[in-house]
Chain A
């Protein structure tokens, strides 16, 4: 057993378990689980546990709301392990959140300004909701300022920016055609900044918390893809890990709600499931620890592609999705793959050679003998 692991086991978690209201065992399991799903080495779980156990490191968080339904916050409110209150009271310092702040009006706006000033370059900015840019962003104002201005101002000195939810990530339902307000996602508005996106409608709070834990632990954001999504959560298509996938592979499709295939839990592709073109970890995480296969495909609703730009709110519900990958590719025979025996072996080639060779050899020997015979016949 390595020294670090012993440290890990012997660490005093009594304080953290008291604060978070979970047992030491559950807490360590959670950290290990998050570390594993983030694709981190085993030591990371301990680092994470340490970071969480040490209250001094709580980063301040500024949480903005734009054009949205507050779905992401509502989802986060129902999160467990750690539950939301522990998240905002112990893991982070939620200094400004329009939905959850007890105060209101100038009071909270002042706190926001103060926090941003005091924690210049240290605070975490979370953006929830789309940012309308048409007509200088007049379609969404908070405290007399446009969301566009607020976003730019808050982003200026943020240590990291997280766009939480599809609206913040790429505009979401607000940006659906014809997009009258010119709604955009945070990455589009903040082109010169790195924005981590946690798309989903609503997004899975686990993906948010995991990303925040990473930030708390390492002071930086986890690896992201070209759309700003953490690779640990959005690295694979829903289709790739879907437990209805075997039905897809076997060609068993539900054709309509309530038909035989639907009752039997067959693949929902033909009903318009967008799993084959949507990147998310829904099949492995499901939703909010409810259990029992609770997530859209799990309960028999075709995936809507809520977390995928160009799919959710863009493609009709029942239109067929494009199957982006065909993993594992080796299950498809190539054009020139054939069944049955093929080709030559050394033994067979040798046997064929020997047979032809013997025949020709016998011929040559006989040719010589015929000549001898002809000569002797002529002599007689």
Chain B
């Protein structure tokens, strides 16, 4: 093979992969038709952490003990022992709630249940799956090899590996629907939504929740709104409260293909630790590149055939020239 030919062939295949729109790029995945999810309204959260303790109860998670204070669950972030945690945003004197400067607010951290989940896309052994009906992103330890690519591939750092166990596994929120819990399948709502006294964590289908969120956005600040609690399709309570100064942004409507767990807040989301995501999911780009190269293994097969032919020819020539073996 001539060097020029080789470079030509290489450049051609590179062009296939790296073109402005790779040959087999796919769009973001669409939400499941009846995807269930949650809406977290940071302005309603009073920081009671009912959701944190209920989550631990439902998922049989131990408290996180810091130092020798044995009395309190002091989880600082998501971990293999904590699938859901309430964090505080504080600025300056932290005087008023839902105020960006000199204010504070609470923010929930738990799996966002992406519509186009990075963890599912990157998992080599299909241990992460998106439920086709509910859209819940589930984890299956029996398949998992512990490579932790899901952790790297998750924009929100949600999956957490049990580093401290000799035989650990990944832990993540599965919307209280994992085998043995199955609250959603039994017609219940998630533990956190059930426990939340203010409806800051609201359970429902993605469609309903998105509608609810947009309705709140559309109202004027100060207007009285009847906030539902629990399950949006059949709220157990309502309570009246004035509409706060919402950011006109529903986190999870579009970010990286959207999420089934959506957030709204009076404070910009970058202050609340949300990642700088674009509308296109990274997973869709990675898969586009991967499939451009490996679709039906056509490209590698052609390359192998070509290489075999060239190499065989070259070896034979060498052997004839030198009479030696390789």
Contacts and interface: CB of A to CB of B under 8 A. Distances in A.
Do A's and B's CB atoms come within 8 Å in the complex?
A: yes
Interface of A: 248-253, 255, 267, 269-270, 276, 316, 318-320, 322-323, 326, 329, 331-340
Contact of B48 (A251, A338, A340): A251
Interface residues of B, number: 41
Contact of A270 (B78, B88, B197): B197
B47 interface: yes
Given A322-B97, A338-B76, A332 B50 contact: no
B87 A269 contact: no
A227 to B, nearest CB: 17
Q: Which among B49, B74, B75 has the greatest number of chain A C-beta atoms within 10 A?
A: B49
A248 B76 contact: no
Given A250-B49, A332-B86, 8 more contacts: A249-B48, A251-B53, A320-B46, A322-B97, A335-B273, A339-B77, A339-B79, A340-B79
B59 to A, nearest CB: 14
A337 B272 CA distance: 12
Q: Which among A320, A336, A338 has the greatest number of chain B C-beta atoms within 10 A?
A: A320
B25 to A, nearest CB: 34
A323 B48 contact: yes
Contacts of A338: 76-77
B16 to A, nearest CB: 38
Contacts of B106: 332
Given A251-B49, A251-B195, A333 B77 contact: yes
B44 to A, nearest CB: 9
26 contacts: A249-B49, A250-B50, A250-B53, A251-B49, A251-B51, A252-B53, A253-B50, A255-B236, A269-B48, A270-B237, A276-B46, A316-B240, A319-B239, A319-B240, A323-B46, A323-B47, A326-B46, A326-B104, A329-B88, A332-B87, A332-B106, A334-B88, A334-B89, A339-B64, A339-B75, A339-B78
Q: Which among B52, B54, B197 has the greatest number of chain A C-beta atoms within 10 A?
A: B197
Interface in B146-186: 163
Given A249-B49, A320-B198, A323-B46, A333 B54 contact: no
Contact of A335 (B49, B87, B198): B87
A255 B50 CA distance: 13
Nearest to B79: A339
B88 A332 contact: yes
B263 interface: no
A334 B236 contact: no
A333 B97 CA distance: 16
B107 interface: yes
A145 to B, nearest CB: 42
A316 B271 CA distance: 34
Contacts of A251: 48-54, 195
A177 to B, nearest CB: 14
Contacts of A334: 87-90
Contacts of A333: 75-77, 85, 87-88
B9 to A, nearest CB: 35
B94 interface: yes
Contacts of B273: 335-336
B296 interface: no
A332 B52 CA distance: 12
Nearest to A254: B197
Contacts of B241: 319-320
B6 interface: no
Task: Please give me the 5 A-B residue pairs with the lowest Cβ-Cβ distance, nearest first.
Answer: A251-B50, A332-B88, A270-B197, A323-B46, A333-B76
B249 to A, nearest CB: 17
Contacts of A248: 48
Contacts of B236: 255
A259 to B, nearest CB: 11
Nearest to B50: A251
A336 to B, nearest CB: 7
Interface string B223-251: 00000000000001101110000000000
A210 B140 CA distance: 64
Nearest to B94: A329
A253 B229 CA distance: 14
A319 B241 CA distance: 8
Nearest to B163: A340
Contact of B76 (A252, A276, A322, A337): A337
A216 B198 CA distance: 46
Interface string B40-76: 0000001111111110000000001000000010111
Contacts of A326: 46-47, 88, 104
Contacts of A253: 48, 50, 195, 197
A336 B48 CA distance: 20
Contacts of B163: 340
B71 to A, nearest CB: 9
A277 to B, nearest CB: 10
B272 A335 contact: yes
Contacts of A322: 46, 97
A257 B106 CA distance: 29
A333 B46 CA distance: 14
Contact of A332 (B47, B51, B78, B237): B47
